[in-house]
């Protein structure tokens, strides 16, 4: 199975900061990577699909990049609503796995 | 707008079997893959497996011996059965739809908390 490694596990930042989260796959997954935001007590919410495509309704301050084994999620200017946990998710051969998550906290 | 709603018991005893149902409204379950995903309290997300509307399925190897998924197209439902429960199975269980345009989850249920305890 393909393993996904996110870094960092926790990130402390202030409103207005530029934030970058990295996700590494143990094998080449082309662009089959998605990013989700999860707030406490809620289901995950899709932000980015196919590595760099912004889901409809998601603010443009979110962006994704990468292919193969290295991917990043960037929040260009962190807003108060963005403090949450973020997960990457890969797909390969009818198997889906998530990264362990990155919690974005208020600095 | 597609809505997914998980239902089932909130409390199950160790060694017993868990049965959950995901009822889909706003769209037919046909032509989609459906996943069950779980999240232990305070931890990350784990894919349990998927089922296609035709009934074909595949499960996480770590759970394969205990998991069965099924689909009822007439009721627009997908179901999960997990046997031989232990405290480690305590989690929020989500059903999620795989997007038709790519291998990501575009719709999620609200989740249902299942506690395994005597």
Q: Searching chain B, which residue's CA lies closest to the CA of residue A35? A: B104
Strands A19-25 and A4-7: antiparallel
Q: Residues for chain B: how many in total?
A: 118
DSSP-assigned letter for residue B100: T
* Alpha-carbon gap, residue A62 to B16, rounded angstroms: 43
pLDDT at B31: 85
Q: How confident is the model at residue B41 (pLDDT cuts 50, 70, 90)?
A: very high
B99-104: long-range contacts at Cβ-Cβ below 8 A with a sequence spacing of 24 or more?
Answer: B99/A49, B100/B31, B100/B32, B102/A32, B102/A34, B102/A49, B102/A50, B102/A91, B103/A32, B103/A91, B103/A96, B104/A34, B104/A46, B104/A49, B104/A50, B104/A89, B104/A91
CB contact under 8 A, A89 and B106: no
Contact residues, chain B, for A98 at CB < 8 Å: 44-47
In the stretch 45-104 of chain B, residues with CB closer than 8 A to chain A read 45-47, 50, 58, 61, 94, 99, 102-104
Other beta carbons within 10 Å of A19: 19
pLDDT at res. B102? 83
Burial of A16 (0-12, 13-18, 19+ CB in 10 A): exposed
pLDDT value, residue B69:
98
Give the pLDDT of residue B24. Answer: 97
pLDDT of residue B100: 86
Average pLDDT over residues B19-45: 96
The encoded tokens of residue A35 equal 């990013």
Range A68-80 average pLDDT = 97
């Amino acid at each position: 199975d393909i393993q996904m490694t996110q870094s960092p596990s926790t990130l402390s930042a202030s409103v207005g900061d530029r934030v970058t989260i990295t996700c590494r796959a143990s094998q080449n997954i082309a662009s089959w990577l998605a990013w989700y935001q999860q707030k406490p007590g809620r289901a995950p919410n899709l932000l980015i699909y196919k590595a760099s495509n912004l889901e409809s309704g998601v603010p443009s301050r979110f962006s994704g990049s990468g292919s193969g084994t290295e991917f990043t999620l960037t929040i260009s200017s962190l807003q108060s609503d963005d403090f949450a946990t973020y997960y990457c998710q890969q797909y390969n051969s009818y198997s889906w796995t998530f990264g362990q998550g990155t919690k974005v906290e208020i600095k | 707008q597609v809505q997914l709603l998980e239902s089932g018991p909130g409390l199950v005893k160790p060694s017993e079997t868990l049965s959950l149902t995901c009822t889909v409204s706003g769209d037919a379950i046909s032509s989609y893959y459906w996943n069950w995903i779980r999240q232990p309290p305070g931890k990350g997300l784990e894919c349990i497996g998927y089922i296609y509307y035709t009934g074909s399925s595949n499960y996480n190897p770590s759970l394969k011996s205990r998991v069965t998924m099924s689909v009822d197209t007439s009721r627009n439902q997908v179901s999960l059965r997990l046997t031989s429960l232990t405290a480690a199975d305590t989690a929020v269980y989500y059903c999620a739809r795989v997007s038709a345009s790519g291998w990501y989850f575009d719709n999620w249920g609200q989740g249902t908390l299942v506690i395994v305890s005597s």
